[in-house]
Structure 1
């Protein structure tokens, strides 16, 4: 049945990259809305005169359309073959948005969807819908915020959305500068039931490498140098070493002050904030 999950986080973009990342998300969102609009027009043209005028007939036709699209999205699995059907040439977000635009309000009458009915983004748009999430840009701080709702499969749907796909694809090509990057935090039903709080889902750039190197994506800096997985794991090892040294110093200071000794039960998180303390090395 799945479980609920969520994600949120802020990423500081290099000033030279901010406009390009935002433009990639705007372009993908505009293309998505254009496809949604075209689909609403095709649906309307395919209706009979009765379906275009009678709310009950219109609603029945819309439900038939949605059911057919869902069968393409989620075809019955064949247990007699290992082969999988080809993926549908559209996403769940597309079907949901088309259905939303074509749906009738209580007491409403069928009508052709107008282009002005759709939220096409402009150069002034700062927040873009991403399935069950959003991508929001703040030019003043050169920061972008990623956030999803808390729902079953919300994170996957947000990542698979037009804006979400464009956003994370574009992050892969960013040339990161010092003090840029960030961390995407997340949680899910099972982790929360186990008493765990939000944890790093993924990280980007020098900030991500400094704080969560094992979860950080490989990246290229502004000088063209590539930070590989091996580099990031080395940083993680150095971070753990720095935390262990801090823990040992704290234990010795406590013992010297006569406030007691640490025991074997003390763990690596007793004296250091695991996963969030910045190491002493330079990126």
Structure 2
């Protein structure tokens, strides 16, 4: 069932945790880029064969089909790392190949290099995927999570490596006074119900982190992941 939805998050990280928090996310995103590069190389080899002799080869269409085959264990050229990637992270590989192809004069496939999936350094302040982004503000030690409105946008964003890495990292922070944050958002059904019952376009909280959180409760990441399926009675 279609559902347009969006969410945002803002978190203040304790000073003592800031460097480690950023490094954890950066290192895991670098691991993702390594896996994506491996898959891109295998996908490129396959697409070159398919494109031979074709004038108007559709890289996106063929790429989407072929990357699905990478998951099949009986496929002799299957790459195991891709079985651990979300659909969104796989699509990023296809679109990277397509983007570099469009930059060439004859729109030819370009052999994947580290430049397509670069190693991130200590100075990185922004990470992005197809439908979500994460930003660091070093001056305020704040982290911003953004998922623009789209069909099942929150589902897809939480399923990406970036989403999983962020919420796992938030669960590992030792929160102190003055630190913490929350995720809030809404969807088309809740908005329609809000307007019908006169509540306006109000968002709702999907999860919160901070020193006041009860550490005996289940994982905050797990709670937040489930939260967008919970509605008030008037929003059902």
* TM band (smaller chain): 0.7 to 0.9
Q: Any idea what the Cα deviations from partners look like across 1:202-237, whole Å, max 9, x if unmatched?
A: 00013xx4xxxxxxx544xxxxxxxx349xxxxxxx
Which residue in 2 is equivalent to 1:19?
19
Residue 197 (structure 1) shift: 0.5
Which residue in 2 is equivalent to 1:111?
110
Structure 1 unaligned regions, length at least 5: 74-86, 210-216, 220-227, 231-283
Secondary structure of the residue aligned to 1:114 is coil
Q: How many residues align?
A: 198
User: Could you state the TM-score of these two structures normalised by the residue count of structure 2?
Assistant: 0.73
Verify: 1:143 aligned to 2:148, yes or no: no
CA 1:55–1:17 in 2, change beyond 3 Å: closer, same or farther? farther
Separation in 1, partners of 2:39, 2:170: 30
CA 1:137–1:108 in 2, change beyond 3 Å: closer, same or farther? same
Secondary structure of the residue aligned to 1:125 is coil
User: Could you state the TM-score of these two structures normalised by the residue count of structure 1?
Assistant: 0.62
Residue 71 (structure 1) shift: 7.4
Which residue in 2 is equivalent to 1:201?
206
Mapping for residues 1-283 of structure 1, pairs under 5 Å: 1-47=1-47, 51=51, 54-57=54-57, 59=58, 63-70=61-68, 88-103=83-98, 104-105=101-102, 108-195=107-194, 196-206=201-211, 209=212, 218-219=214-215, 228-229=216-217
Give the CA RMSD over aligned residues: 2.8
CA 1:98–1:115 in 2, change beyond 3 Å: closer, same or farther? same
CA 1:48–1:167 in 2, change beyond 3 Å: closer, same or farther? closer
Separation in 1, partners of 2:122, 2:129: 18
CA 1:131–1:23 in 2, change beyond 3 Å: closer, same or farther? farther
Residue 55 (structure 1) shift: 4.8
Separation in 1, partners of 2:27, 2:68: 26
Q: Quick check: 1:29–1:163 contact (8 Å CA) kept in 2? A: yes
Secondary structure of the residue aligned to 2:102 is coil
Structure 2 unaligned regions, length at least 5: 72-81, 195-200, 219-236
Q: Any idea what the Cα deviations from partners look like across 1:12-33, whole Å, max 9, x if unmatched?
A: 1111111112112111221222
Q: Quick check: 1:55–1:108 contact (8 Å CA) kept in 2? A: no
Residue 138 (structure 1) shift: 1.1
Q: Quick check: 1:137–1:143 contact (8 Å CA) kept in 2? A: yes
Residue 186 (structure 1) shift: 0.9
CA 1:8–1:47 in 2, change beyond 3 Å: closer, same or farther? closer
Separation in 2, partners of 1:197, 1:70: 39
